[in-house]
Amino acid sequence: MKTIKGPAVFLAQFASNEAPFNSLEGMCKWASDLGYKGIQIPTWESHLIDIERAAESQTYCDELKGKVNGFGLEITELSTHLQGQLVAVNPAYDTMFDGFAPEQVRGNPKARTEWAIDFVKKSGTASGRLGLKSHASFSGALLWHTIYPWPQRPNGLVELGFAELAKRWLPILNHFDEHGVDVCYELHPGEDLHDGVSYERFLEATGHHKRANILYDPSHFVLQQLDYLTFIDYYHERIKAFHVKDAEFNATGKQGVYGGYSAWADRAGRFRSLGDGQVDFSGIFSKLTKYGLDLWAVMEWECCIKSSEQGAREGASFIQKHIIEAAERSFDDFAGGETDVAQLKTILGI
């Protein structure tokens, strides 16, 4: 067994143009003062990290890492959720997802995909230079508009969609492999990789690539009504990153999983601050610890009710309370010792 590291915080939902959230130093001091020990850095926030420089300069990476360490923190992972999304975009979503891309490739889906693939690769190089072992991202989606199909999906559509998704990601996965870093897909509604079955389809399409792994976030499984504890039993060998995010699902006579186009606060399924939702974090931390996973427990805050300030203050202590110091010996070790075959036969009466 292994003790999970933490608490850590994903900076994406807190970064802004106002101090202390407009600089790496400011956010590091803020996180450290709240009791966090690690930060997950969103690569699209250029005031936190310059990926172009990080991919080219070991000196820059050493200085960046030293700056973070100076606040008593470690970098847990880099994140390319937004850029990973742009690796695969169905034309139905072109207009809305163009906002995640630089201006020079907007309105040009082919150029946008090429830019996204290149950026994610550079983030893999940067992760390697920073000494990181895992990287957080989204898969993107070519098939999501057919998730609940009407009209019915034509035969072969799903297979072709995952073959194309794998074709786009394989060069990225191979690049990450060269740098010793796992790509950890956050299984998320809106992505073609959103549950165990869809992840397995992708894994098969990539030839079971050893770098195609999972960022485990139970909140998205609550919203899908998926058994998030048994999921760990199935996929623990592939879980290489962990978002600690809470959620709740309260179906009514008027709405369920799909939410009726309601605003976040009015949906049956919605994200909550840690401890305010329905996720069994005691069960999760127990299973992850039992399986000996080498993970950072990274809070992702996206509550539709509580303020981000309160969510951040409470998050560090919540995670710390749930981290289990892995046992180094069994309580019944006194019954162990060298194997005595004669004694065993006596006990069994043989």
Distance CA 179, CA 228 (A): 31
Average pLDDT of every residue of the chain: 96
Task: State the total domains in the chain.
Answer: 1
Domain of 279, in residue numbers: 5-348
CA angle 33, 36, 42 (to 5 degrees): 110
Question: What average pLDDT does the segment 69-75 reach?
Answer: 98
**Opening angle at CA 233, ends 3 and 315, nearest 5:** 45
pLDDT at residue 124 in the model: 98
Q: Tell me: the pLDDT tens digits for 4-55?
A: 999 999 999 999 999 999 999 999 999 999 999 999 999 999 999 999 999 9
The CA R_g of the chain, rounded to the nearest whole Å, is 22
> Is the distance from CB of 5 to CB of 284 less than 8 angstroms?
no
196-205 helix and 157-178 helix, angle to the nearest 10 degrees: 70
Please enumerate in sequence order all residues whose Cβ is within 8 A of that of 92, keeping only pairs 6 or more positions apart, or say none.
Answer: 145
Task: Measure the CA–CA gap between 224 and 91, rounded to whole angstroms.
Answer: 25
d(CA 267, CA 253): 12
Residues 223, 75: Cα–Cα separation, whole Å: 29
Question: Does residue 296 surpass a pLDDT of 70?
Answer: yes
Measure the CA–CA gap between 122 and 114, rounded to whole angstroms: 12
CATH number for the domain including 144?
3.20.20.150
pLDDT band at residue 282 under the 50/70/90 scheme: very high
Q: How many other CB atoms sit within 10 Å of the CB of residue 262?
A: 13
